[in-house]
Chain A
């Protein structure tokens, strides 16, 4: 499992050359938003900010799946965990996310059967091995992970598994960009579009957004050279006032995207209006399991009571997710809210903006 190819994208000479180019052309004070949490972490880990001129601010957008998951959904996950004879399977990030009154980690400590899995297929396997139990997988994520969950549902259907289901809290990225740009207090001069999501949906999926707002956009990968190149292209578009929808991740992203994965998504999910934490309901931005697959939809399959949900008081997650506030502008940051005892989800996931600032920011 050697990844040598990556080394070129981490080359100090290439990175510093790009940084110099950026410094040379950057005149205006601009705000660029990286939509994806993996970009946020990569920017911090490679120390990109310390190579950029003061003119450029990088903002983190609503691209951490855990962070945008609505409080009511988190509370619903906890309610499902408490059902009799249920194994709740989840990716690790969700474990520590605080709901209104509890978290999955606390529920596990109290005796609920909550398992961290590394792939949805592991959850399908859990269902096969535990026929007397109902296995519920918590589907949280964007277009990147959603196809694997769709594949798991289709596999379970083929196998005739009647004890596997999914709570789908999946979301899709382009409608969120629209919502963001339509908010009054949001000021972004250019977007670094997510790499992994774009592998699935393709560059063309952003065309309607670009046509409507005419704002510089580029898709890029996650290595330092990828990100610096994207920043260079965005700065250049802004300085020359020639916005484009560009693809700086040509080695992975095509115009059409992964058509097979898109078909799988279309066969399994229907697109609906769903709530995003901090933003509210965004039209046609969520993936819910299709009516024909109701047997695999935990929301329809189980009766469970979700107590009234309440967003954590004082938490500025919403403003942080939309780039209108920086984490250190939140009164709870590093005081009541730390990775050890998070108040909002942005402090939980390693890709959460607040957690990244807490870990890497001076």
Chain B
């Protein structure tokens, strides 16, 4: 099937759909629950609290340095479940394909999904494939949903930040956002940076294992760190103070942002996390994070304060202060 393309028949539920599932999907997504091809997956669960999340991936370009739409779709949902203080267990995968999509590309995407799921130690237990006429969808969209078991005794939520909490960021900002921008048509920058797309559930397990009190976990994806912090400040009704000096940005990412007039605080990350930790436990949690390769450069970027509830304030490098607001609409490159 390598040189072939996706036809409407691949989504019609007949022989060709069956062949696509058997030849391309099942060999990779090889969980026992999926192999039966029942209408849904049945599994035992003894957890008291569960977390459930869904997301749809439409990234353009679908292949980019550091990953593709497939592993991104696995990491994204694994991370969303992990940010609920849960250990992700089961995923569903919905593939929406444009008629004419190369099967070789589909294979590559599916294989990276398999690898990403294996690395994150989650099972793909149910799925669906649809094919739509050419021109009604851009190449491939993927929906994934994830189910996880909340770690015993943990209550992690955007509403739980309290004054005094130390805010840790797990590594450099904007790597994914800049990589995607650089690859988009019309932007001929040769940037050595790559997407940070990665699963964060092993990292959160290590963080919970420290026994430290973690109030909030958040992966700053679309809208970046600034938007995530604003959401937390709003929902917890607390002030947030961050130090510009401490914000980690790779120099090549900073350079590209300078050129295009973009602010790394607002650009997407796909393998980074914000953690709000009780002050007495911050050192322990930070050390545990830095021991994991995905968070080796984790650092403290600020703290939760009583003043300015609902707002994020930055102490600038020159010692001034300014508000960090939410992103409104997509960042557009400026004229001059």
From residue 95 to 117 of chain A, which have CB atoms closer than 8 A to chain B?
95-96, 115-117
Task: Specify which of A46, A92, A96, A360 is in contact with B334 (CB 8 Å cutoff).
Answer: A92
B47 at the interface (CB under 8 A from A): no
B209 at the interface (CB under 8 A from A): no
Contact across chains for B335 and A141 when beta carbons are under 8 A apart: yes
A351 at the interface (CB under 8 A from B): yes
Given contacts A142-B336, A349-B334, contact A12 B323 (CB under 8 A): no
Task: Specify which of A47, A145, A358 is in contact with B314 (CB 8 Å cutoff).
Answer: A47
Contact across chains for A359 and B325 when beta carbons are under 8 A apart: yes
Nearest residue in B to A6 (C-beta to C-beta)? B258
Give the interface segment out of B32-40, B79-87, B143-151, B247-255. B247-255
- Give the interface SS of chain B, mostly helix, strand, loop or mixed: loop
Nearest residue in A to B187 (C-beta to C-beta)? A118
Q: Return chain A residues, CB-CB under 8 Å to B263.
A: 45
Q: Using a Cβ–Cβ cut-off of 8 Å, how many residues does chain B contribute to the interface with A?
A: 34
Q: Return chain A residues, CB-CB under 8 Å to B153.
A: none
B319 at the interface (CB under 8 A from A): yes
**CA A2 – CA B321 in complex, angstroms?**
26
**CA A2 – CA B251 in complex, angstroms?**
6
**CA A65 – CA B261 in complex, angstroms?**
15
Identify the interface centre among A2, A44, A46, A66: most chain B CB within 10 Å of its CB: A46
Contact across chains for A116 and B332 when beta carbons are under 8 A apart: yes
Contact across chains for A339 and B252 when beta carbons are under 8 A apart: no
Give the interface segment out of A48-56, A288-296, A299-307. A48-56
Q: Return chain A residues, CB-CB under 8 Å to B329.
A: 96, 339-340
User: Least Cβ distance of A130 to chain B in Å?
Assistant: 13
**CA A59 – CA B245 in complex, angstroms?**
27
**CA A15 – CA B315 in complex, angstroms?**
14
Q: Return chain B residues, CB-CB under 8 Å to A362.
A: 323
Task: Specify which of A116, A338, A351, A360 is in contact with B323 (CB 8 Å cutoff).
Answer: A360
Contact across chains for A3 and B186 when beta carbons are under 8 A apart: no
**CA A337 – CA B19 in complex, angstroms?**
55
User: Least Cβ distance of B265 to chain A in Å?
Assistant: 10
User: Least Cβ distance of A44 to chain B in Å?
Assistant: 6
Q: Return chain A residues, CB-CB under 8 Å to B256.
A: 1
Interface size class of A (residues with CB under 8 A): 35 or more
Given contacts A3-B258, A117-B186, A118-B260, contact A196 B317 (CB under 8 A): no
A122 at the interface (CB under 8 A from B): yes
Contact across chains for A140 and B318 when beta carbons are under 8 A apart: no
B243-275 vs A, Cβ < 8 Å mask (1 yes, 0 no): 001000001101110111101000000000000
A224 at the interface (CB under 8 A from B): yes
B328 at the interface (CB under 8 A from A): yes
User: Least Cβ distance of B320 to chain A in Å?
Assistant: 2
Contact across chains for A12 and B336 when beta carbons are under 8 A apart: no
Task: Specify which of A44, A51, A65, A228 is in contact with B335 (CB 8 Å cutoff).
Answer: A65
Contact across chains for B333 and A91 when beta carbons are under 8 A apart: yes
Q: Return chain B residues, CB-CB under 8 Å to A340.
A: 328-329
